[in-house]
Chain A
């Protein structure tokens, strides 16, 4: 049995990348909203980190959906998912969430960047200006709905897999919470990384704010991962077999302990704590910490997807 090809494997790495990108988009939006609401206020559009979030969120969610469509056996028939709905299907409900999410996302971006865009238009395209000002008036409502949708999207990536009753590692009530929290982490990391790449101040209030949330979030993620596998092992039977297959020696065991726990959680936690006590944050610190977090979450998605399908009931 090789790590990437085995009996019973249905969903391959493109699905893991899609789950990663969807969670990342949700996380970037979540932190963008928090940053604007708690720290930046009206002048948020000037912040490199808000610009980063507004750039990352639509690009990743569209890229993720693109991958998902290409992974269908009949990619040209993808519109049927948008026409036919099934209320018992997690995927179908996820599509609904994704559609409204994208709509609200663009509305939100329009609302927060209203001032610079209207300035740039200089009175041209009156329709655009009027539309944006209308959006800005509704910003509070859009923000509230988008916040709920981003959390739903983050959790959906987990529910999609936990609905598979034949695989005990996936059919696990903790999985959606794990994917939600790790998705938010990846969104924060991507916002920081792109923000400093856009010449944002690595010692600014945005970075301090996000890092302040990141430390408890990494601790929570560790606790959820522990609960996830402890729960499987205590369940006995095939659940226990699945947990030991995943965590034991072999390719995916190394990925988990080295990649997910070591690179993705422990090192970013250590760096974050170090940056908290040291006087100031430098570009390299912020960028490296964020990159480690991102790689860790991407590995987690692949690890769960592949090891989940290794052991059936």
Chain B
């Protein structure tokens, strides 16, 4: 039996090595295919937040709360304020939007053990299937933008879904976009060259957060010109 045990162990080792190499190779091939733009998808929603137009009034957060029934204590969108910069009376603030970036290569979707976190193939929106979510919070820890939270009512992972279940179903723009008094938010289909979104992206310089992690987020920011230069 000694020889057969050795053979067995060698076989097992080879099998495991084979499986891991195969899966890694498949993953690599898949990610290369994913990196090239998928032209068959006609709708891919994205958003631009113009930090120069934003005045930090939080109307977006309130509208989102009302429309999507977001409980107190948690929030799908937050406007973070930094500053003030400069000397009185010439002072200014910077505002940045913190919400789901609807990554093309979403870490939350990758780590979800049940597949409750998913990318909707029709719209590119990252969604949460509440029935499948067990609340392990792996997605919350995996999201580098820290936008996910446990909804205290449903006890499942929750976050911005571009109002897919509410406003979009009624053919309207997301609640935050409609509520913004300065038109700092632009929402639209990145595949449609005539959309206001694409026109904004082509006319203003934008940045996306933490792109070095390979997440390919679809929330764009127009950077603040005003304020201090920080090294």
Contact = CB atoms under 8 A, between A and B. Distances in A.
Interface of A: 8, 10-11, 72-74, 77-78, 80-81, 83-92, 95, 140-141, 143-145, 147-148, 163-167, 309, 312-313
Given A73-B156, A91-B113, A165-B213, A10 B134 contact: no
Interface majority SS (helix, strand, loop, mixed), chain A = loop
Nearest to A10: B141
Given A148-B12, A164-B142, A313-B144, A74 B133 contact: yes
A78 B4 contact: no
B16 interface: yes
Contacts of B143: 166
A140 B5 contact: yes
23 contacts: A10-B141, A11-B137, A11-B141, A73-B137, A73-B150, A77-B135, A80-B114, A83-B114, A84-B114, A87-B23, A88-B110, A89-B111, A91-B136, A92-B113, A92-B114, A144-B12, A163-B142, A165-B144, A165-B213, A166-B107, A166-B145, A313-B144, A313-B213
Question: Across chains A and B, which 7 residue pairs bring their CB atoms closest together, nearest first?
Answer: A73-B135, A166-B144, A92-B113, A84-B114, A91-B113, A10-B141, A73-B155
Nearest to B129: A84
A9 B1 CA distance: 52
Nearest to B142: A164
Contact of A89 (B16, B110, B135): B110
A300 to B, nearest CB: 19
A156 to B, nearest CB: 12
A165 B142 contact: yes
A80 B134 contact: yes
A78 to B, nearest CB: 6
Nearest to A141: B8
B146 A78 contact: no
Nearest to B137: A10
B190 interface: no
Nearest to A93: B113
A11 B134 CA distance: 15
Given A140-B5, A144-B9, A164 B114 contact: no
A140 B114 CA distance: 34
Interface string B1-24: 100110011001100100000010
Contact of B113 (A81, A147, A165, A312): A81
A74 B141 contact: no
Contacts of A166: 107, 141-146, 213
B144 A81 contact: no
Contacts of B150: 73
Given A84-B114, A164-B142, A166-B143, A77 B8 contact: no
B112 interface: yes
B115 interface: yes
Interface string B182-220: 000000000000000000000000000010010000000
Given A164-B142, A166-B142, A312-B144, 8 more contacts: A10-B141, A73-B134, A77-B135, A88-B27, A144-B12, A165-B142, A166-B141, A312-B146
